[in-house]
Chains A and B, each alone.
Chain A
Amino acid sequence: MVNWTAEEKQLIASVWGKVSVEQCGAEALARLLIVYPWTQRFFASFGNLSSPTAIIGNPMVRAHGKKVLTSFGEAIKNLDNIKKCFAQLSKLHCEKLHVDPENFRLLGDILIVVLAANCGKEFSPACQAAWQKMVRVVAHALAHEYH
């Protein structure tokens, strides 16, 4: 059981309230594929990933980014039960998608940079700390059912 202070919950919710899930999701996934190009190995069927411009404009990347961040939103609604919330997704990532959990950490960090760029100064150190904890917990939950 993860312990969230009232302040952490408030900081997470307040940033989330300002986020366009579609926009930030698309941006985070695109940046993952750009900054860590080896992650493209999981998206061979996504078509043109040949340049940052191609990746950013790729409709499959945008759609999938939105899907991923929507999932994140579920975690935020279920902060006290993230492991259970992500049990199925965890099995999926292990058994069907074969994704090394290290990639969850990479995406989490990238998401935080995207949030920082979008929120500017409002993304205070306390905000960042709450969100770093959030992405760590999500990554852990996604890795939990691996075998």
Chain B
Amino acid sequence: MLTAEDKKLIQQTWGKLGGAEEEVGAEALWRMFHSYPPTKTYFPHFDLSQGSDQIRSHGKKVVAALGNAIKNLDNLSQALSELSNLHAYNLRVDPPRFSLQFLSQCLQVALATRLGKEYTPEVHSAVDKFMSAVASVLAEKYR
């Protein structure tokens, strides 16, 4: 469960990205495709080469959704409701609790490479819990 301290750390950390959010999103996706090739199976319609416009634009979407979730940490279920429907009924990506861990890991690595020492154990824990909560909400309607 996200504590008040967790929420503060998450918002602060996101704030530190200072406009680089989109880059972080694209990088996280690229890392995910590289480290976990099976995740590419959900994007046969994409140009998955490095720096592709589609990866950039999808990274931007993902990050916007996360940014929105971060503004609504007290009501994740509602904030992510549309996305939850989309994942459950349209995209049917392998239930987020399995796949999201790959995106979560890659997002964390992208954040850690940028923040270095500032990616403290407490921040690490808060972000990990946040991504876990997002995954739970996205998986809610699967069945």
Contact = CB atoms under 8 A, between A and B. Distances in A.
Given A109-B105, A117-B119, A126 B34 contact: yes
Nearest to B117: A117
Using C-beta atoms within 8 Å of the partner chain, give the interface range for chain B: 20 to 34
B112 A128 contact: no
B113 A121 contact: yes
Chain A interface, DSSP helix/strand/loop, else mixed: helix
B128 A35 contact: yes
Contacts, number: 67
26 contacts: A31-B124, A31-B125, A34-B121, A34-B122, A35-B125, A35-B128, A52-B121, A52-B125, A55-B121, A56-B121, A109-B105, A110-B124, A112-B105, A113-B105, A113-B108, A113-B109, A116-B108, A116-B119, A117-B116, A117-B117, A117-B119, A120-B114, A123-B109, A123-B113, A128-B35, A128-B106
Interface of A: 27, 30-31, 34-35, 52, 55-56, 109-110, 112-114, 116-121, 123, 125-126, 128-129, 132-133
